[in-house]
Amino acid sequence: MGAYWIEGGSPLRGELCIHGAKNSILPILAASILTGGVCELHNCPRISDVEAALQILEHLGCRTEAEGQCIRVDTYEAVSRPIGSAMTERMRAAIIFLGPLLARFGRAELSYPGGCALGERPIDLHLMGLRHMGASCDSGEEGVSCTMEQPRAGVIALPYPSVGATENLILAATACPGETVICNGAKEPEILDLVSFLRCCGAQILVQGSVYRIFGGNALHPCSYRIMPDRMEAVSYLAAAAATRGDISLTNVCPEHLTAVLHVLSRGGCEISRGQGKLRLRCDRLCAVSPIRTAPYDGFPTDAQAPIMAALACAKGVSVMEETVFSNRFLHVPALNDMGANIHASRRYAIIHGVRKLHGAMVEATDLRGGAALVIAALAAEGKSRIDKTEHIERGYQDFSGSLQSLGGKLTME
């Protein structure tokens, strides 16, 4: 169990390079199983979720090597064997191994994934789509077991644009001879990054808005690929700069992926300038913004809700947030209130009455983005704060404390 000690009150200033995207590298690591060779991935974040994914790959017989921001994965000797709870409980993204294991070996078995407790995140859409491809899936109390002896192409209409289901179905569809069409698929940039990787490996995939056409049945080959920048990491540092009334510049970032969040920050009084692969945010005075409603891409992302809420906690006026994606994503609110925030949350809505100042407190991170929100609030608060259970934060941020220190934040790790 780790902890951060934070002394607030210092505006963040300076320049920071954004790491590779957590939500890209995890499905791409799983997708490397399809190639049966050595893939070289660049701009990889060194975070605990990636370490968990590499552990699963090694359990499946793959060889992995990580050096700096480069990861090499040799999947030539990969096999399909049960992935137990000791590995899946470390990250929700473990479910993404279903698709590639079925595509290459025709069978997959894993315990139900863990990760952040954000409410129910059922895998029924994954299983529905896989059954359309000819898979036989059994789900029990402990996990799920699937076989796909005769994969078949067809049309799959998702009732909700689930990111994980879209990714799993794309991966499984590479084994289906003919054309598989996925309708109402999620459109997040990380999915398009996965598609780009698969294309580099020889896959034929067309994307038309929320429709994915996969022409499967052909063998894929390994490749060298660069992971896209992490838009949620960028959001967190932008929110921290806004909360502390700072002035930061971000490099290795895709501003077009952050349109919905940048719109909210601009409405709140932040001055934002964009460049090619660059962003700058200056904030002298932050005002409330309402309403904010989370939605699938290209709406306001649910992962940005907690960090932006932390910034708005000390904005002038009243902001309203509606959470439509996860049922339990306000777990960070009690801790923010312990730090002097005035937030009322019930079911899907949170009403944020901006206060003049937050104050230091001893609080615990309950999930990845909620933990980042507590760090942001502590940086803006008067006095010292202690954030416990920082292992949640380290699942998705490489050297979070060091990056904030480089911008003038006063943090120490324990």
Q: Indicate which residue of 116, 201, 223, 270 is catalytic.
A: 116
Compute the average pLDDT of residues 375-392.
96
Compute the average pLDDT of residues 398-406.
96
Compute the average pLDDT of residues 171-198.
98
> What's the pLDDT score for residue 66?
96
CB 2 within 8 A of CB 391: yes
> What's the pLDDT score for residue 114?
61
Tokens of 197: 């990787």
Q: At residue 298, does pLDDT exceed 70?
A: yes
State in words which class domain 22-226 has. alpha beta
Q: At residue 118, does pLDDT exceed 50?
A: no
Q: At residue 246, does pLDDT exceed 90?
A: yes
Q: Cis before residue 49, ω within 30 degrees of 0?
A: no
Q: At residue 255, does pLDDT exceed 90?
A: yes
Angstrom CA distances, 344 to 99, 320, 347, 387, stand at: 41, 10, 10, 22
Residue type at 19 in one-letter notation: H
By CB atoms closer than 10 A (0-12, 13-18, 19+), residue 347 is exposed
* Mean pLDDT score across all residues of the chain: 94
State in words which class domain 3-18+229-413 has. alpha beta
> What's the pLDDT score for residue 290?
84
CB 88 within 8 A of CB 110: yes
CA atoms of 133 and 123, how far apart (whole Å)? 16
> What's the pLDDT score for residue 143?
87
Give 23-43 pLDDT, tens digit per residue: 999 999 999 999 999 999 999
pTM above 0.85, yes or no: yes
Give 146-175 pLDDT, tens digit per residue: 999 999 999 999 999 999 999 999 999 999
Is 116 a residue of the active site? yes
159-193 in b/e form (b: 16+ CB < 10 A) is: eebbbbbbbbbbbbbbbbeebbbbebbbbbbbbbb
> What's the pLDDT score for residue 33?
98
Angstrom CA distances, 307 to 92, 241, 373, 375, stand at: 20, 11, 4, 9
> What's the pLDDT score for residue 75?
98
> What's the pLDDT score for residue 186?
97
Q: How confident is the model at residue 347 (pLDDT cuts 50, 70, 90)?
A: confident
3-state secondary structure of 214: strand
Q: How confident is the model at residue 313 (pLDDT cuts 50, 70, 90)?
A: very high
Domain ranges of the chain: 3-18+229-413, 22-226
Q: At residue 97, does pLDDT exceed 90?
A: yes
**Percent of the chain topping pLDDT 90:** 90
CA atoms of 185 and 199, how far apart (whole Å)? 18
Compute the average pLDDT of residues 404-414.
94
Compute the average pLDDT of residues 138-145.
87
CB 183 within 8 A of CB 158: yes
